[in-house]
Each structure stands twice: as C-alpha cells, then as structure tokens.
Amino acid sequence: MDLIIGSHVSFKNDTGLLGSVEESLSYKSTAFMFYTGAPQNTNRKEINDNITLEAYKLMKENNIDLNNIIVHAPYIVNLCNSNNFDFSVNFLIQECERCNTLGVNKMVLHPGSAVNGMDRDIAIKNIVDGLNIILDNDYNVKILLETMAGKGNEVGKTFEEIKKIIDGVKFKDKIGVCLDTCHINDAGYNLNDFDKILEEFDKKIGLSYLGCIHVNDSKNELGSHKDRHENIGYGTIGFDNLINVIYNEKLKDIPKILETPYVTETDDSKERVYPPYKYEIEMIRNKKFDNNLIDKIRKNNSN
C-alpha cells in the first residue's frame, strides 16, 4: 500500500473540500488536514454539499481515502478555562457537526492550557468534562488529542497527561491521540530512539488510540518547550529520525501530516512564501535527504 502522507492545506469558503483536495493532489499527497475556517476566529460559513460531492469524486479517482482526512480544531478554544468553557464546548460541538457534514471522521484538538496558574489536575478535569459533553452526540467524529510541546501552561506535554484525559472520557471509541514529532521533541522525548517512544506510548496510552501523526522537524533542542516547526531534515530531529517515524511498520495505516513552515524569499523588499510540501513529500518518498531542497523550492517558484 502507498504511504499515507500529506500536509496541512487550505479550506476556502468558495471551493470548500474540492479546493483542499486539489491542493493536496498538487503535492502528490494521499492524506491532508485543514481548518474549516480561520483558526484564530470562529466565523464559519455554510458547507456546500455539491462541492463536497465533487471533492469525493476527485478523491476516488486519485485513491484518497476519507479516513485519511483530518480537521484541526481552531486553537482559540480552551477547554481548561472555566470562564469561556461553554463557548469552547459549543464551538467544538459545531466543529464536530461540520466534520460530520464533510464526512471527515477525525478532528485534532489541542487539549488546552492551564491559564493563570490554575492547577493542572483541575485543567485536566475541565477538559474531560468538556469532552464528555461534546462527544455525547451521534456524529461519526473522533477527537484526537494532540501531544503538546509544553509551551507556557499547555496540557498534554506528557503521555501521562494525555492518558489522564482519556481515562476520564466516557466515549472511548470517540477519543484518540495525534502524535506531533516537533512537539514531543520539544517536550523531551528523544526521537533518536523512536521505538522506545512508541513502546512507552503503547504501555501508557495504548497504540490503538493513535489516529494521526504530525511530521515536523524542530527549530529547538530536545526538551526546550518551544514549539517552532522546521522543514524536514533541517532541524534538531533530523531526516533519518523522521524517516523512521514515517516508515514505521506499526504506523503504516495512520495518516502522516506535514505542518512544516513555508519557504520565504525576500526580493525588492517584499516577502514571498512558497509551500514546501510537494518537495518534502518527494524527498520523503526518495528516502534521501536533499540539503539543497530549500534553495530548490525558491528557485522553482521565483520564475
């Protein structure tokens, strides 16, 4: 079977899922992830079912499976925060409904942030309470808790914390985990020994909960708690370690999504940005690091 790999793509109001599929195909992807609207706000437009059906047709022609499409919940919601708890819960219920309308059955969620020095166990309890309200529905959507770098007061920086949340969730078939390689590196998990990380994940959480992998290199050192993504092979994790994750036999059915930064170029004092995904995916398929990749992307785009 072909590698299940893709990237973050856009989802626009006018072209909907069809635009996202077209962008993914331009990168030769077999999976993709998107926000259903701007991640920093909650303005959302009605979904056009005709466009969605056209998208399905194009996916079918190109062997992209609906199971390998992921929605990322907006990062402005925070289930830890009691002050806008109802807002976060209601918005996430609407997001599940939108996923369901689109036929997408996985939604990645940042667990939350223990704001204003709140107790981490209370933060976790709030997340659990929120998830138990959100998941009490008939939508065919699983929420995948993302492993976090531990920047600021982020919850979910250890497998133990993720496990505590899962333990409290009543709907076990609707909860899972998204493992982000940059985040776990920054949280202190050393990807030089990925087998050991997977073993620990299996022991503490259970591999069956793993539903998505975010494949990113990191700009920062192991345990830095920073969360700044780097292009594949250009960071502290390195190409070989990321290849080990991507081609791990135990993870072959799990979609792998790149969230690496766009390549920038400044000429005439204006900045241009180019998506790296087509090139990074090709390099991953070749399993050979190209240390001229970034220059190549600039060159191929600028004329």
Strand segments (E) across the chain: 5-8, 31-34, 69-72, 106-109, 112-113, 142-146, 154-155, 175-180, 210-215, 217-218, 229-230, 256-258, 263-267, 270-274
Q: Is there a contact between 260 and 230 (Cβ–Cβ < 8 Å)? A: yes
Binding segment toward Fe ion, per CB under 5 A, in 27-35, 45-53, 212-220, 290-298: 212-220
Q: Under the rule (CB under 5 A), what is the footprint of Zn ion?
A: 227
State the binding partner of 95 from Fe ion, Zn ion, none, CB within 5 to 8 A by kind.
none
Q: Taking phi first (over 0 means left), then psi (-120 to 50 degrees means alpha), and beta for anything else, what does residue 223 get?
A: left
Tell me: does residue 8 bind Fe ion (CB under 5 A): no
User: Residue 253 Cβ, how far from Zn ion at the closest point, in Å?
Assistant: 24
The 93-132 site mask, x for binding Fe ion (CB under 5 A), equals ----------------------------------------
Pick one of Fe ion, Zn ion, none as the site partner of residue 217 (Cβ within 5 to 8 A by kind). Answer: none
The answer to whether 180 contacts Fe ion (rule: CB under 5 A) is yes
Token couple for 293: 């990749």
CB of 13 to Zn ion, least distance (A): 25
Please identify, among the stretches 28-36, 125-133, 143-151, 198-206, the one whose residues bind Fe ion according to the rule CB under 5 A: 143-151
Cα–Cα distance, 181 to 163 (Å, whole number):
18
At its nearest, how many Å lie between Zn ion and the CB of residue 45? 26
Q: Residue 170 in 3-state DSSP?
A: coil
Q: Could you give phi then psi for residue 212, rounded to 5 degrees? A: -160, 150
| Residue with smaller CB distance to Zn ion, 25 or 257 | 257
**Residue 214 within binding range of Fe ion, rule CB under 5 A:** yes
Residue 55 and residue 95 in contact, taking contact as beta carbons nearer than 8 Å:
no
Applying CB under 5 A, the residues found at the interface with Fe ion are 146, 180, 214
